[in-house]
Structure 1
Amino acid sequence: MKTFLLVEDEQILAKNIAFFLKREGYEVDVQFDGEEGWASYLGKSYDLILLDWTLPKKDGLELCKQIRKQSNVPIIMITAKSEILDKVICLEVGADDYIVKPFDPRELLARIHALLRRNETSSTHTDVGHLLQYDELKLDREKLLIIFKDQVMPLTVNEYKLMEMLMKKPENVYSRELLYEQIWGGLLGYSDRTVDVTISRLRKKLMELSGKKYFHAVRGMGYRFGGKS
């Protein structure tokens, strides 16, 4: 049975979400503030984490950043903020997806299922071995890590999927629409910014790790991996 951590300070909403997910066959631990959520995360292994943005004691963004420093566990942010900038912020701190209040629990369940499927696919993808290499850079498909020489850095599920897709065919150009469709599972809710933010996070990680620029924007088209700027 998969186990989720739900951190949500609206207690009635939290209990309703937990009841719905338990009815669907998941185990759900519930906390009502960020500090308790962090303590739960440290004390147990979770398959997925649901974080409210506005939490007492430690807000969801800060908690997401803390978790992401240690783990690539799938994270869905729950927020009442619907502006595109707010959604971009969720992705920038490391969330894999977000859902805006109020929402139908069936939409949340669909997002959970999609994210878990992507996570399981990336964890079991071993068609040409568990390492994919370009130049001195390696992608560990089993551990969702990027490796440069003796240094490693963890990736989120979507970062891994995006990295793998572009790294398999270096110097091929991919449109944002195609990347979104392949990584996020369709064009429902498509936004250029979702792709741009994930690419930006990967660029930053690769630059910190290697000092090199691997992702390149192609004006009017999209992105490619590798080759010269």
Structure 2
Amino acid sequence: MTFKVFIVEDDEMLLSLLEKFLQKYGFETFCVKNFDQLLIDFRSFQPHLVLLDINLPKYDGYEWCKQMRNISKCPIIFISARDSKMDQVMALEYGADDFITKPFDYEITLAKIKSHLRRAYGTYSALSHQRIIELDGLQLNLDRLTLTWKSNTVELRNTEAKILDLCMKQIDCIVSRDQLLENIWDDQAFVDENTLNVYIRRVRNKLDQLHLNGALQTIRGEGYRLTPIWREII
């Protein structure tokens, strides 16, 4: 498995050195260049770990950490010349997992990166306890809110994940609208009839992005059926 590291650093020389060092050890890297689309790049790259400075354009590292933490549980390590106790406390309170002060030792930094990756994705990590449903290569991760087929992954909204969860558990069987409403919304009385239709369209769109067009079928008057067409195209 090739781990992906998202590097948020505005010192171009340090950025280049850090990127080359990590690539030397087999990591795939993404270096932020345009801070106006940092979160767009973050979502697209889907890193396993983030290296994050504090003093940055647009927002400081604390704010970026908070925004990334809202959409991901991946390890975040601050690397900064600001070495006060308060800076380190703030980093941890905003959701970071570790703090390395500049100037830093590359070997120690590498060891910390590997340590956090083992904890997050190793055999004794919380990942082994994540709620993951897999059917012949189609993988739904209910904690990370992702759907993966082959090498492609799409992000899901919580309700989209719930729909897929129910359909994958009853693969090739009809799931009624009432079942979906009962399992997804606590109080059906406040759910507009068209709301489910909107989410079904969104789920189909996510499946289409994975080239699984037609996998979620409408059974008129009864409900929906997820057909495992991916078994035919493995």
* TM-score when normalising by structure 1: 0.54
> Is 1:113 aligned to 2:131, yes or no?
no
* Offset, 1:3: 1.1
Give 1:104's aligned residue: 105
> Is 1:76 aligned to 2:77, yes or no?
yes
Give 2:27's aligned residue: 26
* Offset, 1:34: 3.6
C-alpha separation between the residues in 2 aligned to 1:96 and 1:34?
Answer: 22
- Tell me the secondary structure at the aligned position of residue 28 of structure 1: strand
C-alpha separation between the residues in 2 aligned to 1:124 and 1:61?
Answer: 25
| 1:122 maps to amino acid | S
| 1:21 maps to amino acid | L
| 1:86 maps to amino acid | D
Give 2:125's aligned residue: 122
C-alpha separation between the residues in 1 aligned to 2:63 and 2:127?
Answer: 30
Q: Percent identity?
A: 37
Superposition pairs of residues 173-184 of structure 1, within 5 angstroms: none
Give 1:86's aligned residue: 87
C-alpha separation between the residues in 1 aligned to 2:33 and 2:53?
Answer: 9
C-alpha separation between the residues in 2 aligned to 1:95 and 1:33?
Answer: 22
* TM-score when normalising by structure 2: 0.52
Give 1:67's aligned residue: 68
Give 1:176's aligned residue: none
Structure 1 pair 111–61 and aligned structure 2 pair: CA distance change class (3 A): same
C-alpha separation between the residues in 2 aligned to 1:55 and 1:77?
Answer: 12
Structure 1 runs not aligned, ≥5 long? 131-141, 146-150, 152-229
Give 1:134's aligned residue: none
| 1:42 maps to amino acid | R
Which structure ranks higher in relative contact order (CA pairs < 8 Å, sequence separation ≥ 6)? Answer: 1
Give 1:143's aligned residue: 143
The structure number with the bigger radius of gyration is 2
| 2:70 maps to amino acid | K
Structure 2 runs not aligned, ≥5 long? 132-141, 146-157, 159-234
Q: Is this contact kept in 1: 2:30–2:45, CA < 8 A?
A: no
Give 1:219's aligned residue: none
